[in-house]
């Protein structure tokens, strides 16, 4: 709830128009405690998503909203590429020194396979852009950041479920960019321990969509990820049959196991992380040294195989999927299942939405938006 008179905290979300970003922005607006700024280059997103998030937030306003409550539903959006230092600086200049309370940094390229083909693009867009962002944040006295990391930092983990203490050993350029950015932020927090506060959130596999069906996953081009692909196949946007990338893994049915969590639960985790960066937070109290940096897994702790997900989507869509088993995909690992205990204990994180809800919400988004965001002008 909003303490009356407390001014809204400005939070910049990079990649705010994307699948994860738009759900994170929705959760921020839902609290009415933040004024959200979004930077996005729309490389893999549509501006429409935030128009709809703002609409959803307005529908949640009380009868006679205060000016501040109304203002909290208005998102300041900037179409801007994070690699363009001057454009990013202009956004911070707009709000002045200390004008932005914190940053949730989600913008990145994230296709594991693609990263092995164009590594330089991934290092420039994911690593250089993050270093530049941190430099500009420092210039403008904005020293709180929630960083979107990934389970891919673990590579093939020595054991599952995976605790945060697992050594980081990514084996794709994409995963390495995530390890590098975590390291940069960690070192920055150690260099200026009384100035910076930062948390890295290691996402497992987000799925589903806001139950309104107004926002959802809409990758540009053919989906690389399993769930949106299954939705596109079921509604005919993708004509060819599912190809399962290998069934010779050491798992219960031979296909890869992943830890799927509802995108709204993942988004709620960002709110908990942001609040944990506030001065009154206790999350850094037992830190081994005075640096205020930690990393948390955001997952359910429940592994589901490719074939489990096909069956769950068959139930949700009524579509009778056929598939071919083909060779393994480069960069895939047998099992990425989180140990979510640390985030649950220290952030109060939990991911209650079940698999059936994830698939139902994904299918609801797909059927209500047969052309995704591309089809409709708002």
Active site residues: 174
Instruction: Name the closest residue to ligand WQD (Cβ).
Output: 256
Q: Give the Cα separation of 271 and 346 in Å (integer).
A: 13
Give me the least distance between CB of 194 and ligand WQD, in Å please.
31
Nearer to ligand WQD, 91 or 106 (CB): 106
Q: Torsion-angle region of residue 210: left (phi > 0), alpha (psi -120 to 50) or beta?
A: beta
What CA–CA distances, in Å, run from 339 to 203, 232, 265, 287, 320?
12, 31, 16, 20, 33
Point out which residues bind ligand WQD (CB under 6 A): 110-112, 150, 152, 174, 203, 205, 224-226, 229, 243-245, 256, 258, 306, 329, 332
CA 359 to chain centre: 18
Nearer to ligand WQD, 174 or 293 (CB): 174
CA 55 to chain centre: 21
Going by C-alpha positions, the residue among 263, 238, 214, 217 that lies closest to residue 376 is: 214
Strands (DSSP E) contained in 85-124 are 102-105
**H helices within 235-323, ranges in order?**
263-275, 306-317
Give me the least distance between CB of 177 and ligand WQD, in Å please.
10
Q: Give the Cα separation of 82 and 198 in Å (integer).
A: 19
Nearer to ligand WQD, 191 or 326 (CB): 326
Give me the least distance between CB of 151 and ligand WQD, in Å please.
6
Q: Give the Cα separation of 316 and 361 in Å (integer).
A: 9
Give me the least distance between CB of 69 and ligand WQD, in Å please.
34
- List the beta bridge partners of residue 148: 201
Nearer to ligand WQD, 107 or 229 (CB): 229
Give me the least distance between CB of 199 and ligand WQD, in Å please.
16
Instruction: Count Cβ atoms below 10 Å from residue 294 Cβ, excluding itself.
Output: 21
Residue 292: both structure tokens together: 């205020």
Nearer to ligand WQD, 76 or 171 (CB): 171
């Amino acid at each position: 709830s909003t303490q009356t008179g407390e001014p809204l905290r400005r939070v910049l979300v990079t990649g705010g128009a994307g699948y994860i970003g738009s759900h994170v922005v929705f959760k921020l607006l839902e609290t009415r405690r933040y004024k959200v700024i979004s930077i996005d280059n729309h490389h893999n997103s549509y501006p429409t998503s935030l128009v709809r998030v703002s609409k959803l937030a307005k529908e949640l306003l009380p009868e006679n909203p205060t000016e501040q409550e109304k203002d909290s539903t208005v998102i300041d959006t900037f179409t801007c590429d994070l690699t363009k230092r001057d454009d990013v600086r202009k956004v911070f200049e707009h709000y002045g020194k200390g004008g932005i309370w914190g940053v949730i940094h989600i913008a990145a390229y994230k296709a594991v396979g693609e990263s092995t083909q164009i590594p330089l693009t991934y290092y420039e867009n994911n690593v250089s852009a993050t270093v530049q962002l941190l430099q500009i944040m420092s210039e403008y006295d904005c020293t709180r950041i929630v960083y979107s990391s990934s389970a891919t930092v673990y590579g093939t983990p020595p054991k599952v479920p995976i605790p945060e203490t697992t050594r980081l050993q990514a084996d794709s350029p994409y995963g390495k960019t995530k390890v590098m950015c975590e390291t940069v932020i960690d070192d920055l927090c150690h260099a200026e321990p009384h100035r910076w506060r930062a948390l890295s959130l290691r996402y497992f596999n987000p799925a589903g969509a806001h139950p309104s069906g107004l926002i959802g996953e809409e990758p540009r081009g053919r989906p690389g990820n399993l769930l949106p692909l299954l939705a596109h196949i079921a509604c005919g946007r993708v004509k060819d049959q599912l190809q399962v990338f290998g069934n010779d893994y050491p798992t219960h049915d031979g296909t890869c196991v992943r830890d799927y969590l509802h995108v709204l639960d993942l988004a709620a985790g960002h709110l908990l992380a942001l609040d944990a960066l506030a001065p009154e937070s206790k999350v850094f109290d037992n830190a081994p040294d005075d640096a205020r940096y930690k990393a948390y897994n955001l997952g359910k702790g429940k592994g589901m195989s490719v074939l489990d997900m096909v069956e769950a989507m068959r139930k949700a869509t009524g579509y009778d999927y056929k598939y071919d088993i083909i060779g393994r995909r480069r960069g895939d690992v047998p099992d990425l299942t989180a140990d979510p205990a640390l985030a649950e204990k220290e952030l109060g994180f939990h991911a209650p939405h079940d698999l059936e809800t994830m698939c139902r919400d994904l299918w609801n988004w797909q059927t209500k938006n047969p052309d995704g965001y591309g089809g409709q002008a708002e």
